[in-house]
Structure 1
Amino acid sequence: MDNTSGAAAPVEDNRRHWDERVPINTASSFYDLDGFRAGDEDLDRFQTDELGDVTGLDLAHLQCHIGLDTLSWARRGARVSGLDFSAPAIRTATDLAREIGLDHRARFVTADANDAVEALGAGAFDIVYTGNGALMWLPDIDHWARTVAELLRPDGRLYLAEFHPLTDVLDDARGDTVTRDYFSRAARTYDSPGSYADWTAETTHNTVTEWHHSLGDVISAVAGAGLRIEFVHEHDTIPFQRYGSLVAEGARFVYPDRSRRLPLMYSLAASAPVR
């Protein structure tokens, strides 16, 4: 779905927002960088099960923020390239890779996701990965899918783990009542002070814009870019308390009533054709 008309200014607002949040997130217990340095992993179990062994593979992580997911894949044996439009985030990720001794297997590049082919190289990757809370910041999901296809080698794979788009339209208190139009394609601009990693943090750049992409939009964009859908799985866990009613289950959150669940995340895998 093409929403690029007039998107330049909102994207720049988003970049300033994320630049300001980097030191907040880096210092937070939410990201727990000390635990990560000590060996903790920042990936859902379903992600590692579904993607499988990445040893020796070249993996690009689009919209990588401060690089914890990226470096988790590097720890599992991949050669990783992380990309994000926030220069402070990329500096943090680069420093972290050096601190934990993975700078020989990880590089980080500052660029917009739309420019990933020019920044990282066409046909250079066995896997393109993108993780939690990334797609909502993209005005044009079709452009993103075409970019992914260009990054992949023949028979390479896209692996996506994302918040379910249904979570965009449910109420914040209980997560069981529809409060917005699931099918709306209108950009949503709003004020977002603080950070999900520390809601008490004082911030200045608080205006953000999100673009809602339904599950059908994402699947259609990936297929339209020439990739073969392998699976789409929906999941009932999420790594933060998205709704007030969710309860902790280990390091993740779930609905308290296991007989009345809605999807909180989804994962998708798709493969490039063998040429």
Structure 2
Amino acid sequence: MTDGSAQPEWIEANRAMWDERVPLHAESELYDQNGFRAGRDEIRSFEAAEVGDVTGKRLVHLQCHMGQDTLSWARRGAAKVVGLDFSKPAIDVARGLAADIGLADRAEFVVSDVYDAAAALPDADYDIVYTGIGALYWLPDIRRWAETAASLVAPGGFLYLAEFHPFLNVFKWEAPTEAREDYFRPDPLVTDEPGSYVDLQAETIDNLSFARLHTLGDIVSAICAAGLRLEFLHEHEVTVFQQFPDLVRGEDGYFRYPAGRPRLPLMYSLKASRPA
């Protein structure tokens, strides 16, 4: 789904919204940066299993926010990691974290819109292009994103995406068992509300944001059309935070529907490769 005409407005509004929320996120319990500095790993267990050993690999993380996932891959042995995000305050935090944990020599962070990644990044391609966890929702043009991501995959490398399942967009927080929204939504989702997912009651000023509810079919088709070979598409019954009030947190740290309730796809992950 393409809406290139809306892109400049999207980028500037969304950037202002994210810039303002960076200090709030950096101080939040959810991101727990003190715990991260002490060694906490941000990579989800299914991601680690699906991506595999990253020792000696070059990895780029698109839309990296404050870089904690990016740096976790460096801690897992990646030879070089590069994080890219359009928010300078977020990148400033990421650079500070890299210095704090002694990884500034193997981690580089770049301020750029994701659509301009090919021109902004220090290398032309990478063994692993990693992204997701709430990233695609903010992009107006999924085909252009897929073309950009695919262009960064080195021969023999792959794109790995882990995201919230778009099927969940049909539900609302207050009615998570009844479909209320159109899954096939052609128009942008425009919101103008204060707060953040780390603190719904936070008082914020830059609240206008634009999003696009891409379908799973649109996302997968765009990746394949960009020239990558789909290796797998996995749907998961777990998610990483309480997206709906009736989800319960298990001993493994994931949220899921309670026993006795029908299981629904809460996240998905995919791997798409470029032949060597």
TM-score range, shorter chain: over 0.9
Distance of aligned partners of 1:121 and 1:220 in 2 relative to their CA distance in 1, 3 Å threshold: farther
CA-CA distance at 1:171 after TM superposition: 2.0
Residue identity opposite 1:183 in structure 2? F
What is the SS of the residue equivalent to 1:6?
Answer: helix
1:236 Cα offset (Å):
1.1
1:182 corresponds to = 183
Amino acid in structure 1 at the alignment position of 2:89: P
Letter of the structure 2 residue corresponding to residue 257 of structure 1:
A
TM-score normalised by length of structure 1: 0.97
Distance between the aligned counterparts of 1:258 and 1:54, measured in 2? 38
TM-score, normalised to structure 2, is 0.96
1:4 pairs with 2:4: yes
Residue 208 of structure 1: how far off its partner (Å)? 0.9
Q: Give RMSD over aligned pairs.
A: 1.2
Q: Is the 8 A contact 1:173 1:245 kept in 2?
A: no
**Which stretch has the larger CA shift, 49-58 or 193-202?**
193-202
Offset of 1:257 from its aligned partner?
Answer: 3.2
CA distance in structure 1 between the partners assigned to 2:200 and 2:265 by the alignment: 25
- Give how far 1:259 is off: 4.4
Determine if contact 1:74/1:106 at 8 Å carries over to the other structure. yes
Q: Which residue of 2 aligns with 1:268?
A: 270
Query: Which residue does 2:18 correspond to in 1?
Result: 18
Q: Which amino acid aligns with 1:169?
A: V
**Relative to structure 2, which stretch is displaced further, 159-168 or 197-206?**
197-206
Structure-1 residue corresponding to 2:57: 57
The CA deviation at 1:258 is 4.8
The answer to which of 28-37 and 167-176 deviates more is 167-176
CA distance in 2, matches of 1:26, 1:103: 19
Helix, strand or coil for the counterpart of 2:41? coil
Query: Shift of the alpha carbon at 1:17?
Result: 0.3
Cα shift readout 1:162-198 (whole Å, capped 9, x = no counterpart): 0000111212135222111101121010123111111
Q: Deviations over 1:233-252 (max 9, x none)?
A: 00111111100111111322
Structure 1 unmatched ranges of 5 or more? none
Q: Tell me the matched-pair count.
A: 274
Cα contact 1:130–1:159 (8 A) shared by 2: yes
Task: Describe the shift of the 1:10–1:123 C-alpha distance in structure 2 as closer, same or farther (beyond 3 A).
Answer: closer
Equivalent-residue separation in structure 1 for 2:162 and 2:173 (angstroms)? 21
SS at match of 1:189: strand
Residues 122 and 150 in structure 1, CA contact (< 8 A), matched pair in contact too: no
Contact 2:60 2:81 in 1 (8 A): yes
Give the Cα separation in 2 of the matches to 1:257 and 1:170.
20
